[in-house]
Amino acid sequence: MRTHRLLSLAPAVLCAIAVQLVSAPATSAHGAWLPPQTLGPVDYFGADNQDGADSQHILAGNARGDDAVVWESPRGLLLARASPGRPFGPAQLLTREREAEASVAIDDRGDVLVVWQYSDNSVVVPDVGVDGTEAICCERIKVAMLRAGPSRASSVSLTPGSLSARVESIAISGDGSLASVVYRSTPRSLIKRARLAYPPGSELVVRLAAFDKGFGPAVDLGRKGILLSLRATAHQVIALHTDPDGDADTVHEAIIDAATARLRSREVGDAGALRFFSSIGGFDRDGDLALLVEENLNLGFSHDLITQPVGKQLRVLPIAVERGHESEHGLILEPSSIFDEPALSVSPGGSFLGAWTVYSSGGDSLRVATGRLPSARLSSPTTVPLLSPTSPYGSPQVATDSSGQAVVMVVRKEVGTNGVDAQVVGLFRTSSGRFTAPTVLDEVGNENSLGDAVVTINEHGEGTALWEADPNYKSELVARRFRVP
């Protein structure tokens, strides 16, 4: 087991951890955090890279409480799964390909879809940008589908050798009958001619498959559209994307029939010429959608809430704007703007919770706002007290259930006391809307090796938090179960 400052556990208790994880301690006013479980070592894609930027751990959970985590280890890409209320089982090796970037989705029964891309190092691209360095191309995509319970991990190639492709999103239907992958593909011949790793002209493509069956033909969504969301039902896949002809004012809904692969598309709204940088969010069980979108401005960023009741037009609600000014060092954001990427969680029942950190010279603060689908109304942001003394915080991660219970995870940086440089902090929101005091779950003396925490929650206010840390220059992935008070 890991030996951390606040989580000191002797190796002799390793066998008892599984038993402790099954039976939760009594819930206190601050909620219940169960003992940690170490899942295994984390690989940073090379011994010289210890900043955590290229490491990854992807966590997915369902309303029942099944969890699946995928991470890059020294052995390769690994998958571990946990049944409701149980610790994670032994990790399964998915691939030995290096630097594989993965996505994972899980259905209501615990079936798991894992998709990853990796470079086959087949093409050298001499001109890749301002640094003038060479790049090794090109990306291939593989897929693994595993049924709930004990099942063997096997993978299939999704893209041919003539294409370079990057995964945009994946989805699996609630009953596990349909899987979908959206990726952007570029012919390798075009890459060679353009002498660019990502030349203009790539296609946004959707692929569908019955679970455990082969994928059907590619369905083209256009060259200029940007994918905003993806949803799979038992009979169709719905993709929300900007106009494939490049008109950023309009958003289209593409519906692909699972039986025929026939595409129907309709315009669902005016997004106000949003130049999308990133989006995060999800669907409730009825198919209503909520997204937090980050938009590029000339001198800053804008954060907007987009909601779309199923089958209806989308709505755009501005949340906050980060303004800045140009200098010789680039764009400088003004104080009191959003400091890190916002987070949004949508529950099966339609309640949603967004969170973001706000920069201040006196220390960062955490803002939280809530709402419920299909309405586009968002509560006034609440400032949630964090730890004293004040210090910088990373991007928050959130998860909420249908009753409004939620958990917020955030990494506190530059602590600078007693040899501690970074801490993993968790706090709960009860169904009454009250926030508990933050709890320090882990701390290390080297903040660059402490990756952002991720989190899931089921419909009973129980869930899993996950993070990676390197207290002794041996990076490990840690899971910790919780129960909201």
User: What pLDDT, in 10s, does the model give residues 72-110?
Assistant: 888 899 999 999 989 999 999 999 887 788 999 999 999
Residue type, 322: E
DSSP annotation of 87? -
pLDDT for res 10: 32
Q: Are residues 58 and 103 in the same domain?
A: no
Is residue 269 located within the same domain as residue 340?
no
Which domain, by its residues, includes 469? 1-67+335-485
Q: How far is CA 73 from CA 56, 136, 357, 444, in A?
A: 9, 22, 30, 20
Q: Is the pLDDT of residue 436 over 50?
A: yes
Query: pLDDT tens digits, residue range 367-424?
Result: 888 989 887 677 888 888 888 777 788 888 999 999 999 999 988 887 767 667 788 8
Same-domain check for residues 56 and 113: no
Mean pLDDT along residues 330-340: 48
Neighbours of 123 (CB within 10 A): 15
Whether residue 42 has pLDDT greater than 90 = no
In the structure encoding, which two tokens stand for residue 302, read together? 């804008």
Check residue 52 and give its pLDDT: 34
Q: Please indicate, yes or no, whether residues 392 and 353 belong to a single structural domain of this protein.
A: yes
The answer to the question of residue 280 being in a domain is no
For residues 196 and 266, state if they share a domain.
yes
State how far the Cα of 292 lies from the Cα of 307, in Å rounded to an integer: 9
For residue 411, give the nearest of 395, 399, 398 by alpha carbon: 395
Q: Is 143 in contact with 215 (CB distance < 8 Å)?
A: yes
CB neighbour list of residue 21: distance below 8 Å, 6 or more residues apart? 34, 35, 37, 86, 87, 481
Q: Is residue 429 part of a domain?
A: yes
CA distance 139 to 427: 39
Question: Are 40 and 154 found together in one domain?
Answer: no
Q: Name residues whose C-beta falls within 8 Å of residue 259's C-beta, 6 or more positions apart in sequence.
A: 235
In this prediction, residue 11 has a pLDDT band, given cuts at 50, 70 and 90, of very low
The residue from 225, 254, 273 where one domain ends is: 273
Residue 124 belongs to some domain of the structure: yes
Rg (C-alpha) for the chain, rounded Å, is 22
Query: Using CB atoms within 10 A of its CB, is residue 447 exposed (0-12), middle (13-18) or buried (19+)?
Result: buried
For residues 14 and 307, give the distance between their C-alpha atoms in angstroms, rounded to a whole number: 46
Q: Does residue 299 fall inside a structural domain?
A: no
CA 199 distance to own-chain centroid: 26
pLDDT digits (tens, 9 = 90+) for 248-300: 567 889 999 999 999 999 888 776 545 555 567 888 898 898 887 766 555 55
Do 252 and 345 sit in the same domain of this protein?
A: no
Residues 269 and 391 in one domain: no
Domain final residue pick, 273, 294, 317: 273
160 and 13, same structural domain? no
β-bridge partners, 480: 36, 465
- Number of domains, the chain: 2
The answer as to whether 362 is a domain residue is yes
> What pLDDT does residue 380 have?
81
Residue 290 lies in a domain: no
Alpha carbon distance 356, 340 (integer Å): 7
Mean pLDDT in residue range 302-306: 73
Q: Are residues 117 and 157 in the same domain?
A: yes
In a domain, 327, yes or no: no
Reported in sequence order, the residue ranges of 173-283 that DSSP labels E, i.e. its strands, are 178-187, 203-210, 219-220, 227-232, 236-242, 250-257, 263-270, 276-283
pLDDT tens column, 51-81:
333 457 889 999 999 999 999 888 899 999 9
Cis peptide before 15 (omega within 30 of 0): no
Q: Is residue 452 within 8 Å of residue 439, measured between CB atoms?
A: no
User: How many angstroms separate the CA atoms of 321 and 315, rounded?
Assistant: 18
In a domain, 284, yes or no: no
63 and 102, same domain (yes or no): no
Q: Are residues 125 and 263 in the same domain?
A: yes
Q: What is the pLDDT of residue 334?
A: 45
pLDDT for 290: 86
Write down which residue in 254, 273, 292 finishes a domain: 273
Structure tokens at 147: 């049924």
